[in-house]
Chain A
Amino acid sequence: MKRMGTIFGAKMNKVLDRAENPNETLDYSYQKQLELLQNVKRGLAELVTSKRRTQLEADRLQAESQKREQQARQALAAGNEDLAREALQRKQLIDGQLTGLSSQIADLEQQQQKLTDAEQRLQAKIEAFRSQKEVIKAQYTAASAQVKISEAATGISEEFADVGMAVQRAQDKTQQMQARAGALDELVDSGALTDYTSNQDDIDRRLQQVTDKSSVDLQLEQMKQQMGLPSPQEQPQLTEGEKTPQQ
Chain B
Amino acid sequence: MIVRIQGEGQYEVDEAGKGRLEEIDGRLFSAMEAGDAGSFQAALQEAVGYVEDAGRPLPAERLTASDLILPARDTSLEEAKRLFSDEGYLKPVEA
List, sorted by A's number, 24 A–B pairs whose CB atoms are closer than 8 Å: A3-B84, A4-B83, A5-B67, A5-B68, A14-B94, A15-B94, A36-B95, A39-B92, A121-B9, A124-B60, A124-B61, A125-B62, A125-B63, A128-B63, A151-B63, A151-B64, A154-B63, A154-B65, A157-B93, A160-B92, A164-B91, A169-B7, A169-B72, A169-B79
Secondary structure type dominating chain B contacts:
loop
Extra contacts, 7 of them, besides A121-B60, A166-B72 (Cβ < 8 A), are A4-B69, A15-B94, A36-B94, A120-B60, A127-B61, A154-B63, A156-B63
> Which residues of A lie under 8 Å from residue B30 when comparing CB positions?
none
Name, among A7, A128, A151, A152, the residue most crowded by chain B CB atoms within 10 Å (CB to CB): A7
* Contact B95–A156 (Cβ < 8 Å): yes
Name, among A32, A33, A115, A166, the residue most crowded by chain B CB atoms within 10 Å (CB to CB): A166
Nearest-neighbor residue (CB-CB) of B24 within chain A: A1
Contact partner, B95, options A1, A7, A33, A127, Cβ 8 Å: A33
B90 interface residue per 8 A CB criterion: yes
Nearest-neighbor residue (CB-CB) of B8 within chain A: A114
* Contact A155–B7 (Cβ < 8 Å): no
How many residues on chain B are close to A (CB under 8 Å)?
A: 33
B86 interface residue per 8 A CB criterion: yes
* Contact B92–A161 (Cβ < 8 Å): yes
> Which residues of B lie under 8 Å from residue A83 when comparing CB positions?
none
Contact partner, B7, options A11, A15, A129, A165, Cβ 8 Å: A165
Q: Answer whether A158 and B9 are a contact pair too, CB < 8 Å, given A8-B90, A11-B94, A168-B92.
A: no
Q: Answer whether A165 and B6 are a contact pair too, CB < 8 Å, given A1-B25, A36-B95, A151-B64.
A: yes
Secondary structure type dominating chain A contacts:
helix
Give the interface of A toward B (CB within 8 A).
Answer: 1, 3-5, 7-9, 11-12, 14-15, 29, 32-33, 36, 39, 114-115, 117-118, 120-121, 124-125, 127-129, 132, 151-158, 160-162, 164-169
| CA–CA, A165 and B59, complex, Å | 21
> Which residues of A lie under 8 Å from residue B95 when comparing CB positions?
15, 29, 32-33, 36, 153, 156-157, 160
